[in-house]
Amino acid sequence: MKPCKICLCLLLLSGAAEADIFKYTAPDGAVYYTDQPKKGFDYRLIIHTRPKTYLHDLKFMPHNKSKFADMISKAADKHKVDARLLHAVIQAESAYNPLAVSSAGAVGLMQLMPDTARRYGVLDRRDAEQNIDGGTRYLKDLLARFNSNLRLAVAGYNAGEGAVMKYNNTVPPYPETQNYVQQVLSLYGKG
């Protein structure tokens, strides 16, 4: 199997852009991209997409939004992050479904990956309060890392801060991430 950066671009531009994309760097330096990582290899998630239930969950969004509004407000106040930004991220990530699971294993309202959850002390990613608190802390750290640059923080939330840094502190050229940033900023009212 040869590395294929052109294949990655074609994959991103095709309808398959709604799949999580993983990257593997082989010991010989060859780089591989896939939407179906093989077990036993150290694949890293580089592009995260919405849970498969997202469109279905939209019809329950108004009820769930009000259900979790107090938790979101509490986390926003506690961590000094704008509640409107948290609402925008949660709407884009999970449509307010606390049980949402992506194909890559991101879970909950703020779609936390296992490593991110561990990093922020989230023991149960399905617990809405823990999920919101961990996701809020992560977003706050991204805002600090990128000097309050909202576009970069939101891009980092989607693609990982490493991807933003790799592209010299710009929004990575992944169509899914660029669309995600536009969506979140629009929902936030800053787009």
Residue range 54-188 in CATH 1.10.530.10:
yes
Q: Which residues are catalytic?
A: 93
pLDDT recorded at residue 3: 43
Long-range (24+ apart) CB contacts under 8 A made by 171-174 are 174/12, 174/21, 174/46, 174/47
b/e 71-100 (16+ beta carbons within 10 angstroms → b): bbeebbeebebeeebbbbbbbbbbbbbbeb
Provide the residue ranges of all domains of the chain, joining segments of one domain with +. 5-47, 54-188
**Structure confidence at residue 36 (pLDDT):** 67
12 pLDDT tier (thresholds 50, 70, 90): very low
Give the chain's length: 191
Q: What is the pLDDT of residues 120-164, one digit of tens each?
A: 999 999 999 999 999 999 999 999 999 999 999 999 999 999 999
> Model-level pTM?
0.71
Q: Please, what sign has the CA dihedral across residues 142, 122, 92, 17?
A: positive
Residues 59-115 pLDDT 10s: 666 777 889 999 999 999 999 999 999 999 999 999 899 989 887 789 999 999 999
SS (H, E, C) the chain: CCCCHHHHHHHHHCHHHHCCEEEEECCCCCEEEECCCCCCCCCEEEECCCCCCHHHHHHHHHHHHHHHHHHHHHHHHHHCCCHHHHHHHHHHHHCCCCCCECCCCCECCCCECHHHHHHCCCCCCCCHHHHHHHHHHHHHHHHHHCCCCHHHHHHHHHHCHHHHHHCCCCCCCCHHHHHHHHHHHHHHCCC
